[in-house]
Structure 1
């Protein structure tokens, strides 16, 4: 399939990635939870929570490029987080892979994630996605639709039933914290828990 299928607005790209398979060598992961992120104020999807929210830097440059490219970064200096760029070339956006189910290469994934109690825990949470797949910062910029790439993405059939996808606010962000750009497959045991950032503004609840 063509990466141009991801050359759409962030939330549409996130929906398209649910059910897709991310391959890293022999390990395959079915994506079951994602978060969409937009870009800088000059683009159509300004997102202050995105790494690209303040503009282009050496770190986030691939977010401003074509869709279907791997964007990786370290969270808390230790967890490699895996993102797929989206949107048209020149407009920043990406989708964070928050959780996935290992469908191939279980032994290698278990060796990388010895603390996982069950197979469902192997790819539960964005840091564990990177660990189970063995993705490192050296994989930054990998062309995910290139058959020769060490990290590859295979899109599955598009999920068209709205009831098959759950939607809610993103996890752990302090800006645009209530934007409903986290999507997941509710029937999967690999979906991570929601945790609101303590730095996010308090929700105004009705009296």
Structure 2
């Protein structure tokens, strides 16, 4: 495992207090690290409480309780009963789903967890990303404070960002709240 490059600073929890759409865009190019394993965030999706596709749309439940908790904490849920998916909570009822990263730290650990050799496939999609980073239900509600979960931002946030419709949902499918790093070969799916 290698350390994050110099010049990256831990994003303060206050960074996540705003609107999920703005934060989802701002996270492209930042670095996501889970217990020493991670890489550059290349794809995110935003979900808000007024969005019928969001888990928070119908209010707080046992499953989505973390979405109504403090900003800068993890919201983890199981997709299709199989995959653990990682989000960061923003304003109440809002979260950003991590869809893909470019793996950079702990590649051997990720390969062992995913049983795949191709680096490009390790974290391309929220289920793959969750498995490669070792995400599980115990991470739900945990802070991105550097004690296990962290997001590090580069000195400059000027990266080319693409926007388009979200993937794998049936409601509000045309809202362009999916963001990706332009030119990245690590996206879960190309942008139109």
TM-score, length of structure 2 as denominator length:
0.89
Is 1:82 equivalent to 2:83 in the alignment? no
Corresponding residue number in structure 1 for 2:110? 109
Change (3 A) 1:86 1:158: farther
Corresponding residue number in structure 2 for 1:30? 40
Corresponding residue number in structure 1 for 2:6? none
Higher RCO (Cα < 8 Å, 6 or more apart): 2
Corresponding residue number in structure 2 for 1:137? 137
Kept in 2: contact 1:171–1:194 (CA 8 A): no
Is 1:190 equivalent to 2:186 in the alignment? yes
Change (3 A) 1:157 1:67: farther
How far 1:155 sits from its partner (Å)?
Answer: 2.5
Is 1:54 equivalent to 2:64 in the alignment? no
- Which structure's CA Rg is the greater one? 1
Deviations 1:72-111 (A, max 9, x none): 1111101111101112xxx210000000011111111110
Deviations 1:137-187 (A, max 9, x none): 111111112x3x2222223345345xx111000001111110000000022
How many residues were matched structurally? 181
Partner-residue secondary structure (3-state), 1:80: strand
Change (3 A) 1:10 1:26: closer
Give ranges in structure 2 of 5+ residues lacking alignment: 1-10
How far apart, CA to CA, are the structure 1 residues paired with 2:57 and 2:100? 23
Corresponding residue number in structure 2 for 1:178? 174
Corresponding residue number in structure 1 for 2:74? 70
Partner-residue secondary structure (3-state), 1:8: coil
How far apart, CA to CA, are the structure 1 residues paired with 2:63 and 2:80? 15
Kept in 2: contact 1:16–1:158 (CA 8 A): no
Kept in 2: contact 1:101–1:123 (CA 8 A): yes
Runs of 4+ displaced beyond 4 Å: none
How far 1:17 sits from its partner (Å)?
Answer: 1.3
How far apart, CA to CA, are the structure 1 residues paired with 2:16 and 2:42? 17
Kept in 1: contact 2:69–2:141 (CA 8 A): no
Corresponding residue number in structure 2 for 1:42? none
How far 1:117 sits from its partner (Å)?
Answer: 4.6
Partner-residue secondary structure (3-state), 1:107: helix
TM-score, length of structure 1 as denominator length:
0.82
How far apart, CA to CA, are the structure 1 residues paired with 2:35 and 2:43? 21
